[in-house]
Amino acid sequence: MVKVVVLGAAGGIGQPLSLLLKTNPVVTGLSLYDIVNAPGVAVDLSHINTPAKVEGFLPPNEGLKQALTGAEIVVIPAGVPRKPGMTRDDLFKINAGIVRDLATGIATTAPKAFVLVISNPVNSTVPIVVEVFKKHGVFDPKRIFGVTTLDVVRASTFAAEALQEPSLASKLVVPVIGGHSGVTILPIFSQAQPPLPASFLENKETLEAITHRVRYGGDEVVKAKDGAGSATLSMAYAGATFVEKVVRAVSGEKNIVAPTFVYLESDAAGGAVIKQELGTDVPYFSVNVELGPSGVEKILPIGKVTAYEKSLFAGALSELETNIKTGVSFIDGAKL
Ligand SMILES: NC(=O)C1=CN([C@@H]2O[C@H](COP(=O)(O)OP(=O)(O)OC[C@H]3O[C@@H](n4cnc5c(N)ncnc54)[C@H](O)[C@@H]3O)[C@@H](O)[C@H]2O)C=CC1
Ligand SMILES: O=C([O-])CC(=O)C(=O)O
């Protein structure tokens, strides 16, 4: 029995994500919470003939508490999306408070749950969740994840497209490390599995163009939606993929590797190795991690990168440090 809670379940991401979770037989309980329409979405989904029991909750009458009771996995896509001309950081003003309040609810009602943060700006909202959990004395670095799966999904798609091999997209895995915004997104095409041809990796123009496309893939969608929001369907797919990996790991399956934005301060899990590789003390980074029944079992090393990939690290790290500080200082000193 795995109970998954979606906070922000009536939104552009929340609805298709909840649909994908409902259709996945590994999910046996689905609890939906939003400030609007969550009970309606829940009743709609509850008619689908799969095992998951679906319930929906609104804020009054301790709806958040009820939604979170018994939660094992909590996914947070609550918050406002971008409009053209905005950066993810522009969302901080509104989303920081939303994420803080939801994190407080989780810390008090389901402190052992795995928390998967989708709400932007991820580079700052994950530190907010961590600081809230620290304040409540329930922080476990193995259980809080920033969802960066969409960057990895995009990297495979765009590389397969550039190679004119559509069937490669679902087989290709390209590590994407760093953070989840613009220059902090670092696709490592040299480590793709199966390996990409030298003609691709050694063509500077192709490589720069595709790296840029992965870094700014979110903007491509924001522009195309023209004021109606940002990526929702591809994000729901990416989010559901990540949730499934967590569920399988929790259920005891071995060798499950997922990319995610994690706290590096837990040396036992391998965070110190990443800091050594980066040559800096950055407290969070998105990398591949091995998942197990208690969450992040091992943070996997970045490994060998090319000179071009390495040349992008400095810009990513300085932006990331700023984003992380913004999140931490939002909670530091605040009364919760
Ligand atoms: N991590 C990633 O890769 C991605 C992250 N995002 C981010 O996900 C977030 C959500 O995007 P969309 O679903 O498109 O937005 P949306 O506006 O369609 O949906 C957001 C939902 O959150 C709900 N909400 C607002 N305040 C809430 C609260 N206090 N408690 C519970 N629910 C609340 C709203 O009622 C709405 O239903 C945005 O911040 C967006 O930037 C979007 C795409 C990719
Ligand atoms: O671009 C945005 O605002 C939404 C997002 O994070 C993405 O699509 O990667």
Examine the fold and report which residue of 146, 176, 193 is the final residue of a domain before the chain moves on: 146
Residue nearest to atom 9 of ligand 1 (CA): 119
What is the number of domains present in the chain? 2
Please give the angle made by the CA atoms of 166, 168 and 170, to the nearest 5 degrees. 100
88 is in an annotated binding site: yes
Provide φ and ψ at 264, rounded to 5°: -100, 0
SS3 263: strand
Secondary element (H or E) of residue 320: helix 313-331
Q: Is the CB of 95 under 6 A from ligand 2?
A: no
How does DSSP classify residue 16? H
Mark whether 136 and 192 lie in a shared domain.
no
Mark whether 193 and 177 lie in a shared domain.
yes
Q: What is the pTM of this model?
A: 0.98
Mean pLDDT of 318-329: 97
Examine the fold and report which residue of 87, 115, 146 is the final residue of a domain before the chain moves on: 146
Mark whether 95 and 114 lie in a shared domain.
yes
Tokens of 286: 């998105």
Mark whether 87 and 208 lie in a shared domain.
no
Q: Report CA(165)–ligand 1 centroid distance (Å).
A: 33
Quick one: pLDDT band at residue 147, thresholds 50, 70, 90?
A: very high
Residue nearest to atom 14 of ligand 1 (CA): 12
Counting ligands in written order, the one closest to the CA of 147 is 1
Counting ligands in written order, the one closest to the CA of 13 is 1
Examine the fold and report which residue of 121, 146, 171 is the final residue of a domain before the chain moves on: 146
Contact (Cβ atoms closer than 8 angstroms) between residue 31 and residue 6: yes
Task: Indicate the residue type of 328.
Answer: V
How does DSSP classify residue 90? G
Q: Which residues are catalytic?
A: 180
SS3 94: helix
Residue nearest to atom 43 of ligand 1 (CA): 231
Mark whether 43 and 89 lie in a shared domain.
yes
Mark whether 291 and 152 lie in a shared domain.
yes
For 61-95, the pLDDT digits (tens) are 899 999 999 999 999 999 999 999 999 999 999 99
Residue-level pLDDT at 199: 93
Cα–Cα dist 236/239, whole Å: 5
Residue nearest to atom 1 of ligand 2 (CA): 218
Which of 5, 6, 13 to probe ligand 1 with, by most ligand atoms within 8 A of CB? 13
Counting from 1 in the atom list of ligand 1, the atom nearest the Cα of 118 is 1
Mark whether 209 and 275 lie in a shared domain.
yes
How does DSSP classify residue 193? B
Q: Is the confidence metric ipTM above 0.90 for this complex?
A: yes
For 285-300, the pLDDT digits (tens) are 999 999 999 999 999 9
Query: What CATH number should be reported for the domain holding residue 250?
Result: 3.90.110.10
Quick one: pLDDT band at residue 265, thresholds 50, 70, 90?
A: confident
Residue nearest to atom 1 of ligand 1 (CA): 118
Contact (Cβ atoms closer than 8 angstroms) between residue 258 and residue 149: yes
Query: What CATH number should be reported for the domain holding residue 121?
Result: 3.40.50.720
List, chain by chain if needed, residues with CB within 6 Å of any ligand 1 atom. Answer: 7-8, 10-14, 33-36, 77-82, 91, 95, 98, 101-102, 118-120, 122, 147, 150, 180, 229-232, 235
Mark whether 162 and 308 lie in a shared domain.
yes
10 is in an annotated binding site: yes
| Domain span at 309 | 148-336
CA neighbor of 231 nearest in space, from 307, 148, 134, 311: 148
Tokens of 209: 């163009």
For 92-135, the pLDDT digits (tens) are 999 999 999 999 999 999 999 999 999 999 999 999 999 999 99
Which of 221, 225, 242 to probe ligand 2 with, by most ligand atoms within 8 A of CB? 221
Mark whether 131 and 171 lie in a shared domain.
no
DSSP 110-150: -TTSEEEE-SSPHHHHHHHHHHHHHHTT---TTSEEE--HH
Mark whether 86 and 172 lie in a shared domain.
no
98 is in an annotated binding site: no
State how far the alpha carbon of 223 is from the alpha carbons of 176, 220, 230, 234, 324, in Å.
23, 5, 8, 15, 27
Mark whether 101 and 161 lie in a shared domain.
no
Counting from 1 in the atom list of ligand 2, the atom nearest the Cα of 231 is 8
Mark whether 45 and 103 lie in a shared domain.
yes
